[in-house]
Structure 1
Amino acid sequence: EKQGENDEAVRLKNASEIKSLANTLKNFEGMRDGLKATHLVERKREMEARFQKWVDADPERKAKWGHILSDIAAAYKAPNRQAILARLFLGPVPILAAYRLPMEDLSPQRVEGMIAVISNILGQLDLDGQRAVLATAIRSNLSLPEDQRLEAFEGITADNLDEKVAELLPTALDRARIAQIANMSRDELSSSDKPLDKLAWRLLQVIPEVNRAYAEFGSRIGALRLELSEAMAAFRNQPEYPDANSTLRVTYGTVKGYSPRDAVEYLHYTTPRGVLEKNTGKKPFDAPEKQLELFRAKDWGRWGDPALNTLPLDFLSDTDITGGNSGSSIMNAKGEMIGLAFDGNYEAMTSDYQFMPEITRTINVDIRYVLWCTEKIDGMSRLIEEMDIVDD
């Protein structure tokens, strides 16, 4: 982001990745703030202490479940090398992904396709951007305890990181270089004297070992979670939610606002007035001029709400959603679509861990606003003519 402040071409190249990272950061910040505000971690620890005390109080329960919490804690302390390798070879900007191609038995067409994909991803970054991605992955390795670090990065320290990264990437990886890497034989790669080739070869040698360890971790944690689920059900002694993973599901609730803190109250809907008040002409508050003109003219067409005397834009509901729900239909009691879910409120980012009815809200776009945009902004009235619109 800093590199693009004075270079529009660099800013555009990095825009997609920066936006993705910003969204992730916002989610993590909301999660952190929510965990602190609700004291969820402390309450979970207290609940685990009560659970362990309950288990230990009965010899049969202790023999069956007494090991679960300590085994889970031990499993998560294992080396986290897989995450570092994923950043380099499989992450959002896989700086070394091309090096995996010589190791796999792929058709020429498949290799060409992968070269195009990798080139497109890395082509969005200039040299400094690619170096920054590589440095971030190496920095993750340095953050591990010394006995858990990947040996392939031996000799790279926090003090010489920038210098070493510059040696590894003297020039940006372009399509020609990526194609060359992808078509190298194993012997050519193992005997190359290029610093990045050497690093990649050393890392490739540990991938099978790390993958095995990661698979063992997943298997172990999966088994422990099943045991924990069984034990917790007995501990709570009340009906459990069914496992809805990988199934179609429906959540239900009501349209309502909320109060995130003392003396602050959020209504259940937003209107064009808020867009006009927030508009600065600069991102992220740079609404299209055509939209602003129509808002100022209060041109709602058939989509305005007579009771509100304005056009509803978004509304809140106390429904339970999670990642991947963006675009889910919101229906009223008659099964009529009234909106689309697209986000959750900042204060309840922790709802995946604990649903809090008083503050957890889904943010939905009102379908009348969608139809207004379709007609007034996009000029697609013919699409609306094909729909069955219910006017209450």
Structure 2
Amino acid sequence: MRYALVAALMLSSGLAIADEGQWQPYQMPSIADKLSERGIQIPAKQLADLSQYPMNAVISLGYCTASFVSPQGLVVTNHHCAYRAIQYNSKKEHNYLANGFLASDQQQEPSAGPNERLYITEAVTNVTEKVTHDLSEEPLTRYQEIQQNSKQLIKACESDDNYRCSVRSYHNGLEYYLIKQLIIRDVRLVYAPPESAGSYGGDIDNYEFPRHSADFTFLRAYVGKDGKPAAYHEDNVPFTPKSYLRINANGVKAGDGVFAAGYPGSTSRYRLTSELKFASQWLYPTYADYYQRRIETIESMSATDADVKIKYAGGLASMANRMKKLNGLLDGFKATDIVGIKQQKEDDFLVWVNREDPEQAKVIENLEALLTEEQSAQQQNYFFTIAQSSALLDAAKKLYRLSLEKQKPDAQREQGYQQRDMKLFAGRLKRIDKSFAVAVDKMLWQQDIQAYLAQNNRVKALDSLLNQNLETELSAKLDGFYALTTLKDRKQRLKWMDAAPKQFETSSDPFIRMAVALHDTNMAHEKAMKTLQGKLSTARPAYMASIIAYNKANGWPVYPDANGTLRITYGMVDGYQSRDALYKQPFTRLEGLAAKHTGAEPFNAPQKILDAIAAKQYGEHKVSSVYADPRSWICRLFSCLDKPEEFNSVPVNFLSSVDTTGGNSGSPVFNGKGELVGLNFDSTYEAITKDWFFNPTITRAVHVDIRYILWMMDEVDRAENLLNELELVK
């Protein structure tokens, strides 16, 4: 039975593989025929050019994707991507998370926070030869040389302080690219629906379909009066982007070709079967237990404290999302024998390798041995790592490390501790206040220490600090840490950025003392991992070279695993067979939202949305008849022209077969002409395992329909000032 399922899935993958791929923009011309087959009319060469529309309007938040939608620097992304900006501006007196926010004019747009950035990718350059030329055979030295070569490239790239550059590994170190991005440092909040709309359905609906989420928010980019990026200042002016997206107010219908552009975080499709087994048997269950414990603690402690609830809202939402994804991965591995599928594909690959290049089989054996070593180290270090989870201890560790790194020339410092990093370093220290409460931090830390004390991989340096014979007095001991530290105060934290190592080593602050005491052990672990990475920097690229040759020989797509860099993916608007006798249609509509409403979280839709639905206000204001048209997608799909009144509604969310993952949140979804028709915000539960294996029959991404966004702006919130900025086309 297992092998029949494996064969069936591999066959379906071969037949429908066209929509698989998180492609680098430069690869677009090589798949121009596939884009054309999907009805994507915009030239592939245009998509490959980052200086042209629409790619020069697609930007990164550093953790999500966004896009420019007006000549005045207006940006649209997901509500959950802008959560920190909304949280930053929320207080007991005006809780924008609960009530939403709309600036009536640009003067009313508040800062999204000192750490918020927009990154505009302007250049992507292959620097493989410069990074890998004449590397040492000694693993640790090899690792350090790769880092040093990368830092030199970055330094040359960042001759202008307005740019942030990075060197990213593709195909597990087979290739390296230098990414050059313009940084916008003044980001402001413009318009956000209330959380009850923005994350309607909450964790229950997360990764599910049908969905009815208004997962969108508008931000704005500001610069100095000279047009150059600058920190927040009341005199700054809106940024003028090189281009902004045109919005097709008619949206899309089932069967339409679409594509999405964004910054997907990470996938593991080229990883070995042994790595999948380790993830499914240890890594994912361990992390799931960890997040579940933290979620339960935070929810319990925030239930009676509004301030705690606001401070930990962003972190809680992030952990809940990770938790749902981990459970989805584990359930997916049970429902579909992905281990068996990957093992069969790997076995076929090994047969090919032994036939084409028998020596390469030894490289794979070496890689497997290194992976076993890496996995063992992860397990041994896990509890020691989480036992240092306090936000204040983390700050103390980084501050002490900074003092030591500053003793070196800037070029030799560890990345994250160079002069180029200091603004962000200080920003993170400042931001602690917005997401920290002593009681919560202490409880979470205490639980992690107790988990450490309950297992056998103990570390002498930590045990001597905790005095393991006093486990019953752990709570009182930690109370002393928080009572005696000065790190709770923002000014004191920032002062430590200028302190010398000796000041740390003679400090009486308990968190500082702990950071100093654990430093050597942490550095020893880091050195061991760097040495291992040095070994893997030889083994993985050699393995990937064979995988790429094998895929090409079989006519399969060759694209790098996601790594947080700009990618394009394409597909079509389509539903799917989720399980026996249950086919999920590609669109949801307003009536489904109202039907889900219970009045209690997470199905507590705002009354103004319910009122507009009940009154059938489907487009009577700014752009009437755009959102709901009995001759539009629903009737074309269901041939309902004889009863248009039953279907005259507004699409809310829709499905497509584009290939996305975490980091694609907020990605613009385009029609074939390159016009904005939606925002990516999720995947279906069945598709979560696509990070390891892309199954085209069930892999679907979930998008906010642009017609719902426009309807919310027009009929619900009367955001005429913003609608006037948009370029709407039909």
Alignment TM-score, normalising by the size of structure 2: 0.47
The aligned residue for residue 590 of structure 2 is 272
Partner of 2:567: 249
1:362 corresponds to = 701
Letter matched to residue 33 of structure 1:
D
Structure 2 residue 168 is the aligned partner of structure 1 residue 168: no
Residue 152 of structure 1 corresponds to which residue in structure 2?
Answer: 461
1:174-202 alpha-carbon deviations (Å, 9 max, x no partner): 21653575565433432345543332111
Task: Give the one of 316, 320, 324 matched to 1:22.
Answer: 320
SS across alignment from 2:694: coil
Q: Secondary structure of the residue that 1:321 maps to in structure 2?
A: coil
Q: Distance in 2 between matches of 1:16 and 1:383?
A: 26
Cα deviation, 1:244-270, whole Å, max 9, x if unaligned, reads: 456643322111111221122211111
- Structure 2 vs 1, CA of residues 15 and 327 (structure 1 numbering), >3 Å: closer, same or farther? closer
CA contact 1:82–1:214 (8 Å) conserved in 2: no
Structure 1 12/270 Cα, relative in aligned 2: closer, same or farther at 3 Å? same
SS at match of 1:341: strand
1:352 to 678, 691, 699: 691
Which stretch has the larger CA shift, 132-141 or 78-87? 78-87
Aligned mate of 1:321, from 653, 660, 668 = 660
Equivalence for 1:73: 372
Between the aligned partners of 1:163 and 1:53, the Cα distance in structure 2 is 61
**Runs (5+) with no aligned partner, structure 1:** none
- Say if 1:335 and 1:7 are closer, same or farther in 2 by CA, change over 3 A: closer
Q: Which amino acid aligns with 2:438?
A: L
The SS at the match of 2:654 is strand
Residue 320 of structure 1 aligns to a residue whose secondary structure is coil
Aligned AA (1:359): I
Residue-by-residue CA offset, 1:102-134 (whole Å, 9 max, x unaligned) = 4423899x9898566425325533222111343
**Which structure shows the bigger proportion of residues in strand conformation?**
2
After the TM superposition, which residues 64-103 of structure 1 pair with which residues of structure 2 at under 5 Å, given as runs? 64-79=363-378, 93=391, 95-102=393-400, 103=402
The equivalent of 1:291 in structure 2 is 609
State the Cα distance separating 1:287 from its structure 2 match: 1.9
Corresponding residue of 1:372? 711
Q: Is the 8 Å Cα contact of residues 687 and 699 (structure 2) preserved in structure 1? A: yes
Q: CA deviation at 1:162?
A: 4.0
**Alignment-mate amino acid for residue 238 of structure 1:** N
- Offset of residue 363 of structure 1: 0.6
Relative to the length of structure 1, the TM-score reads 0.83
For the 8 Å contact 2:597–2:603, the answer to whether it is kept is yes
Shift of 1:77: 1.9
Deviation at 1:295, TM superposition (A): 1.0
Change (3 A) 1:181 1:338: closer
- Comparing 244-253 with 280-289, greater Cα deviation is found at 244-253
Q: Is the 8 A contact 1:123 1:174 kept in 2?
A: no
Is contact 2:392-2:511 (8 Å) kept?
A: no
Using CA pairs under 8 Å that are at least 6 residues apart, name the structure with larger relative contact order, 1 or 2.
Answer: 2
Residue 92 to residue 293, structure 1, CA distance change in 2 (3 Å)? farther
Q: CA deviation at 1:51?
A: 4.8
Q: CA–CA distance in 2 between the matches of 1:68 and 1:217? A: 11
Query: Secondary structure of the residue that 1:309 maps to in structure 2?
Result: coil
Give the whole-Å Cα distance in 2 for the aligned partners of 1:304 and 1:247.
36
Matched residue, 1:300: 618
Contact kept in structure 2, 1:340 and 1:367, CA below 8 Å: yes
1:37-186 → structure 2 map (5 Å cutoff): 37-49=335-347, 51=349, 60-79=359-378, 93=391, 95-102=393-400, 103-104=402-403, 105=406, 114=425, 117-122=428-433, 124-135=435-446, 137-138=448-449, 141-142=452-453, 146=457, 149-155=458-464, 156=466, 159-160=471-472, 161-162=474-475, 164-170=477-483, 173-175=487-489, 178=493, 185-186=500-501
1:217 paired to 2:528 = no
Partner of 1:341: 680
CA shift in 2, pair 1:79/1:340, >3 Å = closer
Tell me if structure 2 keeps the 8 A contact 1:95–1:134.
no
Contact residue 257 and residue 265 of structure 1 kept, 8 A = yes
CA contact (8 A) 2:628 2:650 kept: yes
Shift of 1:227: 2.2
User: 1:373: how far off?
Assistant: 1.3
Conservation of the 8 A alpha-carbon contact between 2:655 and 2:700: yes
Cα deviation digits, residues 190-231 of structure 1 (max 9, x gap): 234554333211122334333322322333334322222233
SS at match of 2:661: coil
Contact 1:13 1:124 in 2 (8 A): yes
Deviation at 1:271, TM superposition (A): 0.9
Closer/same/farther in 2, CA of residues 195 and 338 from structure 1, 3 Å limit: closer
Shift in Å, 1:163: 5.0
The change in CA–CA distance for 1:139 and 1:38 in structure 2 (over 3 A counts) is farther
Distance in 2 (CA, whole Å) between partners of 1:192 and 1:64 is: 50
Deviation, 1:374, is 1.6
Deviation at 1:331, TM superposition (A): 2.1
Secondary structure, in 3 states, of the residue corresponding to 1:67?
A: helix
User: 1:389 maps to what in 2?
Assistant: 728
- Distance across 2 between alignment mates of 1:10 and 1:338: 37
Percent of residue pairs identical = 29
Tell me how far apart the structure 2 counterparts of residues 28 and 143 of structure 1 sit (CA, whole Å): 24
Is residue 396–residue 511 contact of structure 2 (8 Å, CA) maintained in 1?
Answer: no
Counterpart CA distance in 1 for 2:503 and 2:549 is 59
- Write the distance in 2 (CA, Å) between the matches of 1:82 and 1:39: 30
Question: How many matched pairs?
Answer: 387
Given the superposition, is the C-alpha separation of residues 99 and 329 from structure 1 closer, same or farther in structure 2, using an over 3 Å criterion?
Answer: closer
Q: Aligned partners of 1:184, 1:86: CA distance in 2, in Å?
A: 25
Q: Which moved more, 1:64-73 or 1:79-88?
A: 79-88
In 1, Cα distance between equivalents of 2:422 and 2:359: 57
Q: 2:554 aligns with which of 230, 238, 243?
A: 238
Q: Would the aligned equivalents of 1:68 and 1:227 in 2 still touch at CA under 8 Å? A: no
Question: Could you say which residue in structure 2 is the equivalent of 1:36?
Answer: 334
Query: Secondary structure of 1:326's match?
Result: coil
Alignment of 1:256-267 (within 5 A): 256-267=574-585
Determine the structure 1 residue equivalent to 2:543: 228
Q: Larger % of helix: which?
A: 1
